[in-house]
């Protein structure tokens, strides 16, 4: 398992100039970087790939930023915007040699409300329909889509491992797997390790986040059991730290980070990778 870092800890939006961060990430020992691409126009994928290769980092994943207007269960305009955006990200991933597109690739983040069962069926069908189309494009480009359930405060559509597995199986593509995140699972799952074991070979990506969005290991999450579960299913993908701080104002507001979770954001990266290295051995 490679250990990676999501660049939201230091930059929003990530642009081609943000690749200046790569040398620092490599110095700290990260093997991969996860890049949230808020708009495809923000990066030159050829230049970003060259910068990563120069730093000795792999671009392990591109994170979909499902902002307003990007919604596979929304209006026709929102569905088209989501499709155009995700297709562009898959194309960029292919250029960068990045194997996966990850995140809540189904609906706009923050759309969380009570939805009647009849409407739920309609929205579910729309997401499955759209993701089947997107999956075919991903298959052609050699990119895997890893779908992430979020906690109940960020979406009403997909919250648990069980729901995520149901969606992955409904899409039925070899290019679609599940993405689990310890922060969201800490809220929604009865037992994180059991959920990981249930995901099994369909687990394609993993976020290691503190229970408070801070440093993994400096929290109450049952990390030994989680590591045992990852090893039990033979998980060989990336383990990525995705934490946020008040230093990046846009993301802090979006993720409801109202206070300093750690003294310095470097603590999250440096202490986080030290903990994960030891835990994953």
Annotated active-site positions, please?
148, 242
Which pair of structure tokens corresponds to residue 46?
């050829």
C-alpha closest to that of 269 among 29, 11, 63, 55 = 29
The four Cα atoms 90, 92, 93, 97 give a dihedral, to 10 degrees, of: 140
How many helices (H) and strands (E) would you count in the chain? 10, 8
Distance of CA 52 to the CA centre of its chain: 19
Residues in the chain: 281
The four Cα atoms 7, 178, 233, 3 give a dihedral, to 10 degrees, of: -10
C-alpha closest to that of 131 among 183, 166, 180 = 166
- Look at residue 147 and give its three-state secondary structure: strand
């Amino acid at each position: 398992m490679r250990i990676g870092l999501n660049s939201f800890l230091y930059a929003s939006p990530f642009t081609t100039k943000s690749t200046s961060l790569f040398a620092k990430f490599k110095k700290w020992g990260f093997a991969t970087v996860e890049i949230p691409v808020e708009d495809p126009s923000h990066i030159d994928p050829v230049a970003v790939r060259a910068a990563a290769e120069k730093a000795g980092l792999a671009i392990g994943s591109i994170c979909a930023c499902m902002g307003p207007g990007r919604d596979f269960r929304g209006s026709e305009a929102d569905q088209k915007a989501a499709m155009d955006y995700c297709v562009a990200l898959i194309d960029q991933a292919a250029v960068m040699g990045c194997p996966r597109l990850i995140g809540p690739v189904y609906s706009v983040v923050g759309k969380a409300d009570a939805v009647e069962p009849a409407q739920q069926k309609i929205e579910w069908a729309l997401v499955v329909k759209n993701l089947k189309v997107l999956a075919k494009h991903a298959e052609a480009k050699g990119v895997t889509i890893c779908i992430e359930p979020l906690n109940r405060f960020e979406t009403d559509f997909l919250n648990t491992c069980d729901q995520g597995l149901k969606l992955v199986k409904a899409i039925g593509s070899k290019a679609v797997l599940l993405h689990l995140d310890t922060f969201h699972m800490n809220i929604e799952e009865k037992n994180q390790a059991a959920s990981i074991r249930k995901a099994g070979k369909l687990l394609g990506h993993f976020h290691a986040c503190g229970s408070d969005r801070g440093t993994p290991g400096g929290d109450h999450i049952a990390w030994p059991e989680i590591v045992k579960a990852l090893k039990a299913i033979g998980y060989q993908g990336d383990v990525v730290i995705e934490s946020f701080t008040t230093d990046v104002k846009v993301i802090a507001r979006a993720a409801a980070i109202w206070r300093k979770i750690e003294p310095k954001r470097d603590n999250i990266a440096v202490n986080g990778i030290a903990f994960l290295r030891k835990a994953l051995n």
